[in-house]
Amino acid sequence: MPFTVISKQLDGIIVLKTEIFNDDRGYFMEVFREDTFKTLGISSYFPQDNHSRSSKDVVRGLHFQWKPEIGKLMRVTVGTAFLVAVDIRKNSPTLGKWFGIEVSAENKLQVWAPPGFARGFCVLSEVAEIQYKCTGIYNSKGESNILWNDPEIGIDWPTKNPLLSPRDATARTLAQWLALPESDNFRY
C-alpha cells in the first residue's frame, strides 16, 4: 500500500505518510489514490483543490464550511507549517478538542480532517505553501470561522506574534458558533 496511517486523532482525523521512491534524479510519490483512500475511510471525491502561500508566523483559520460540508486533505509542499484541526461536531466526545502536527515539504505527511472540523495552520518557515483537496465546492454563504486563540479550545500555537487577517482576528468563539442554528449541520 502506498500510504501508511501514522495516527488517528479525535475520531476522524487521519495522518498519512506516503511511500517515497527516491533515486539520483529526485523522488516520486502518490498523493492521492481513490481505491486506497476508500479503504482508509477517506473521501475519494475532491471537486476542488486549493493552494496557499504564506509567510512566517501567518496564522490562517480556524475555517470550515457547512453548506456543503467540506472535508480537507492537507499537505505542505514548500517549507514547514503547523496544521491544526478542531472538532466542532455537536454531541462529539471530543467537541472543542484540537489536534496539531508539524508538516513539511521534507516529511511529506498529509492530514485528513472530515467535515465537522475547523482547520487552520501556522507557518513555521520563512514561507510555506499548503495544498489541500476539498470534498466540496467553496460557498461564501455557507462558511465561517472560529477565533484562532479561543481560550476554551486552548491551541498551543507555535508563534507569539501571529500575522492574522481582520476576519480571523475578529472571529466568533466556538461557544458563539455552537449557539447558531447552522452549527446543527455538524453532529456526531
Spatial separation of the C-alpha atoms in residues 114 and 167, rounded to whole Å: 23
CATH superfamily entry for domain 3-183: Jelly Rolls (2.60.120.10)
Residues designated as active site: 63, 132
CA distances in angstroms from 93 to 89, 90, 96, 113, listed in the order given: 9, 9, 9, 16
So what's the pLDDT on residue 2?
84
| pTM of the complete model | 0.94
Strands 98-104 and 59-65: unpaired
* pLDDT at residue 43, rounded to an integer: 81
Q: CB within 8 A of 26, min separation 6: which ones?
A: none
Q: Sketch the domain layout of the chain as residue ranges.
A: 3-183
Q: Tell me what pLDDT residue 41 has.
A: 87
Locus of grid cell 487521519: 14
> pLDDT means per 10 residues in the chain (188 residues)?
91 94 92 91 91 98 95 98 98 97 97 97 98 96 97 97 97 97 94
pLDDT of residue 44: 81
Q: What is the pLDDT of residue 101?
A: 98
